[in-house]
Amino acid sequence: MSKTSNINRVDGFAKVTGSATYSAEYKTQGVAYACLVGSTIAKGRIKAIDTKKAEWAPGVLTVITHLNVDKPAGYDKPKDKSNLGQPLPIFKDNTVLYYDQPIALVIADTFERMQYAASLIKAEYLKEEHTTDLHKAKDKEKKIDTDKGNDYHRGVEDGYKNADVVIEHEYTIPTEVHNPMELANIIAKWDGNKPSLFTKSQGVEGTRKSVAGVFGIPIEDVSVNSEYLGGAFGMGLHTWPYEIAALIGAKKINRPVKLVLHREQMFTNVGFRPYTIQKMGLGATKDGKLTGLTHEAVAMTSSYEDFMEGTVNMSRFIYDCANVSTRYRIVPLDTCTPIWMRGPGEATGSFALESAMDELAHKLDMDPIEFRKRNYAEKDLEQNKPWSSKFLLECYEAGMERIGWKNRKNKPGSVREGEWLVGYGMGTGTFGSYRNPTTVKAKFLLDGTLVLQCSVNDMGPGTATMMTAIGAEITGIPPENIVIEMGKSGLPKGPTQGGSATTSSVGSAVHDACNLLISKALGLATENQNFKNTPISDLAFANGSISSVKGAAKKVSLVSLLNDNKLEELVAEKESKGSEEAKKYSIYSFSVHFVKVLVNPNLGKIRIAHVVSCADIGTVINEKTSAGQMFGGAVGGIGMGLMEALEIDHRFGRPINNNFADYHVPVNADIEKQEVFFVNKKDPISNPMGTKGLGETALVGMAPAIANAVFNATGKRVRDLPITLDKILEPSTAKV
Ligand code: MOS
């Protein structure tokens, strides 16, 4: 990937000029406006709900509650969770399972009338005792018998306890919310019994399946359009109750319905990274060989769904260690179900693991990088497989150089810049590199355009740009002549955009479809007057034209080929999926984040002075969008490390800081200097381009890098995220 490795984001112009149409922006004839009214208790039953005033308010078309809902057919079918996508059947009965759970849908002819009518709804409840505090509910923990839930042991169980040097600590991360700029939104409409949704989804096919399950209709009857997304970070991986509510409403009034969540509802109704308590036990020899590692996690879920993620998984393979134990439990709380959030599982797990590694390195009086190098895993000991490729050491080297690691002193608090204490820290990240079956259709048209079609979404990482670059690279057709059609049902089936798998999955399918297009073109050329009687093996395809390798000067462009054959278009469609060979390898991306912090010991203020994020993601398809992903992921890690926490008032089970004034995220002023480095070496196994995943490793390892840097600056070890200034000033946190 060379000529095209730096093309501009192909949807950039549309996005900055406003011509990109997001779901709620579709002009829809006769659209009505809807909103959800949420419960004001966290658990119990609705005793009475007064909707009369709202129904009589001007412009109101309907008010729907559990009392008058036409229940979707799927509600009565045996519960098939995988089919429902979201097992909270909205308005099914009078049960309240979490604070702000939708209890009524109000639809009116204008936005203002809808808002006013919603304010008139009053409910009475039969309250029950709720639990939203994970620390108080740990006795309700349960072990789920799945790959993620099962205990894992290699060597001696809890073998770390027998080591010469041992550390044992507990780490917590709070609930964090996705809150992309674009609010969750939908325009729902029905054509007879066939729904169509303009909605914020990371997976067109997944949304179709969920909606089909809820309404008991064939998947083919559901159309979904989610062409542009203003960020999602994982919240678009589920079909949420608001989407079903809008569909129920649109069906009832036989009109299209638009529903956009309020910002406050983004904190309560569309998932979040789960609050998680982790215990680490690490043991090593005096010269720094890791001999035992135990990683235990207890995470929240909801009362109605078991949500799990790979929180402890990284600990099983990232270091060379003979005795490894992991345990993972979940605790049902009275909240909405959590959902994957960028670097799901590993971002949480890496905070505990990489903090603990730093703590053990400190106890051994060893440089943290040196400690990691001594425990470098030459192969994946969990799966007992070789790595497909691993350039983690290159990431360490590049980061040390760029951050100025040589200026770091092992003894905390020993480097100063004026009144600021200086600290250096690092954290390792990783994420599985997956490839999901994907079909892409490549169409070459008479006007010289190459159209690439796939139903996959692009929530912002640059999927359309990647597809363009790969298509251009293979066919030689210039990027400006390539048109991407994506994010809609009816197109060839793409995967859900998630798990850092999109480039590997969709890129491979673009690769395969374009190559099929070329071989079809060559076949056509040898069947007719162009290269009649020339064996295909004597033909070459380059820069959009066919020529003979035998020296004849004749060159036939794809356009002339179509003209000569009186064709309107040449089409190639192919499903692409992972190879059997790839299953013999362990395929992971790796990253290392380096951070230099400045801490004011009198004020507790932490400044992120310099961030260097280095990654082995295989081949880099596009330097700009990849760097963008890495910058964004690292900034997400700064939020996780220093700012983000959804605070719950447990007396009422409701969030306190459900707005952007109180829920802090980093802004430009919070980052002084940020760099990205990619090893950019092709993975020989992963897929035809040699790419691995990027989106998640961009965040995994960042929060512990900050915690480790803060420790190096101050000698204060903060094990409860976020690292706010009170924790720096609080004397009792200084126990190390
Ligand atoms: Mo990502 S958490 O797979 O959107």
Return the best residue to mutate from 176, 177, 226, 237 for the ligand 1 pocket (most ligand atoms within 8 A of CB): 237
Ligand 1 atom closest to the CA of 695, numbered from 1? 1
Q: For atom 4 of ligand 1, which residue has the closest CA?
A: 234
Rounded Cα distance, 368 and 361, in Å? 5
pLDDT digits (tens, 9 = 90+) for 55-94: 999 999 999 999 999 999 988 775 555 444 557 889 999 9
| φ and ψ at residue 332, rounded to 5 degrees | -70, 130
Q: How far apart are CA 302 and CA 137, in angstroms?
A: 12
Q: Are 374 and 288 in contact (CB under 8 A)?
A: yes
pLDDT (tens digit, 9 = 90+) per residue, 145-197?
988 899 999 999 999 999 999 999 999 999 999 999 999 999 999 999 999 99
Rounded distance from Cα 160 to ligand 1 centre (Å): 33
d(CA 8, ligand 1 centre) in Å: 24
Catalytic residue among 205, 309, 485, 696: 696
Rounded distance, CA 287 to CA 366, Å?
A: 9
The CB density around residue 439, as the number of other CB atoms within 10 Å, is: 22
Which of 340, 457, 458, 697 has the most ligand 1 atoms within 8 A of CB, as the residue to mutate? 340
Find the helix packing angle between 204-215 and 241-253, rounded to 10°.
60
529 Cα–ligand 1 center, Å? 51
Residue 186: beta bridge partners? 199, 259
In eight-state DSSP terms, residue 643 is I
Measured in Å, residue 537 CA sits from the centre of ligand 1 at: 43
CA distance 712 to 597: 9
Q: Give residue ranges with CB within 6 A of ligand 1.
A: 202, 233-234, 237, 340-342, 344, 498-499
Q: What is the dihedral of CA 326, 332, 335, 340, to 10 degrees?
A: 30
pLDDT reported for residue 734: 46
| C-alpha of residue 343 to centroid of ligand 1, in Å | 7
Closest atom, ligand 1, to C-alpha of 236 = 4
Amino acid residing at 701: G
* pLDDT at residue number 730: 79
Beta bridge partners of 569: 445
CA dist list (Å): 640 to 273, 276, 358, 636 = 10, 13, 18, 6
How far lies 307's CA from each of 82, 134, 143, 613, in Å?
12, 15, 12, 30
Ligand 1 midpoint to CA 702 (Å): 17
The pLDDT assigned to 81 comes to 55
**How far does the centroid of ligand 1 lie from the alpha carbon of residue 433, in Å?**
13
Burial of 733 (0-12, 13-18, 19+ CB in 10 A): middle
- Ligand 1 centroid to Cα of residue 272, in Å, is 11
Residue found under tokens 């093996």:
537
Question: What's the whole-model pTM score?
Answer: 0.96
696 classed as catalytic = yes
How far is ligand 1, taken at its centre, from the CA of residue 342, in Å? 5
Choice from 273, 342, 505, 589 to test ligand 1 binding pocket (greatest atom count within 8 A of CB): 342
Residue-wise over 333-367: b if at least 16 C-beta within 10 A, else e?
Answer: bbbbbbbbbbbbbbbbbbbbbbbbbbbbbbebebb
Using alpha carbons, list the distances in angstroms from residue 677 to 394, 541, 594, 617. Answer: 10, 34, 11, 10
Ligand 1: nearest atom to the Cα of 202: 4
Find the farthest-apart pair of alpha carbons in the chain and give their distance in angstroms, rounded: 86
> Ligand 1 mean position to 344 CA, how many Å?
7
Find the helix or strand (DSSP H, E) in which 368 lies.
helix 368-374
d(C-alpha 323, C-alpha 159), whole Å: 5
Which atom in ligand 1 lies closest to the alpha carbon of residue 340?
2
Atom of ligand 1 nearest to the CA of 237: 4
* Partners of 484 in the β-ladder: 452
CA-235 nearest atom, ligand 1: 4
Shortest-distance atom of ligand 1 to CA 501: 3
Report the chain (736 residues): mean pLDDT per 10 consecutive residues. Answer: 77 94 95 98 98 98 98 77 64 97 98 98 98 96 92 98 98 97 97 97 94 94 96 94 97 98 97 98 98 98 94 98 98 96 97 98 98 98 98 98 98 96 98 96 96 96 97 95 97 96 98 97 87 87 87 83 94 96 97 98 96 98 96 97 98 97 94 96 97 97 98 97 94 53
| Opening angle at CA 437, ends 433 and 440, nearest 5 | 115
Distance 545 CA to ligand 1 centre (A): 40
Question: Could you identify the atom of ligand 1 that is nearest to the CA of residue 233?
Answer: 4
| 684: number of Cβ within 10 Å | 11
